[in-house]
Amino acid sequence: MTDTSSNMASKPASRPVGLPGLIDDWSSDQRAFKGVGWRKSMMWIFLLSDTFIFSIFLLSYMTARMSTKVGWPNASEVFSLHIGNTNFPLLLIAIMTFVLISSSGTMVLAVNYGYRKDRKLTALMLIVTAVLGATFVGMQVFEWSKLISEGVRPWGNPMGAPQFGGIFFMITGFHGTHVSIGVIFLLVMAHKVWRGDYDIQSRGFFTSRKGEYECVEVMGLYWHFVDLVWVFIFAFFYLW
Q: How far apart are CA 6 and CA 181, in angstroms?
A: 59
Segments forming the whole domain that contains residue 101: 38-238
Cα dihedral 147→149→150→151 (10° resolution): 90
Query: Is 77 among the domain residues?
Result: yes
3-class state of residue 119 by DSSP = helix
pTM: 0.81
Total length of the chain: 240
Q: What is the pLDDT at residue 9?
A: 47
**Are 126 and 216 spatial neighbours (Cβ–Cβ below 8 Å)?**
yes
Q: How far apart are CA 191 and CA 189, in angstroms?
A: 5
Q: What is the pLDDT at residue 38?
A: 74
3-class state of residue 83 by DSSP = strand
Number of domains in the chain: 1
Give the domain CATH number at 60.
Answer: 1.20.120.80
Query: Is 32 among the domain residues?
Result: no
Query: Is 68 among the domain residues?
Result: yes
In 3D, which of 234, 79, 237 has the Cα closest to residue 147? 79
Express each pLDDT in 82-107 by its tens digit.
887 788 888 999 999 999 999 999 99
Q: How far apart are CA 62 and CA 54, in angstroms?
A: 12
Number of H helices, E strands in the chain: 9, 2
Query: Is 170 among the domain residues?
Result: yes
Query: Is 231 among the domain residues?
Result: yes
Q: How far apart are CA 129 and CA 25, in angstroms?
A: 38
Ranges of residues in the chain whose predicted pLDDT is under 70: 1-15, 22-36, 199, 201-211
Q: Where are the beta strands (DSSP E) in the chain?
A: 81-83, 86-88
Query: Is 119 among the domain residues?
Result: yes
Instruction: Return the axis-axis angle of helices 214-233 and 119-149, rounded to nearest 10°.
Output: 30
Query: Is 186 among the domain residues?
Result: yes
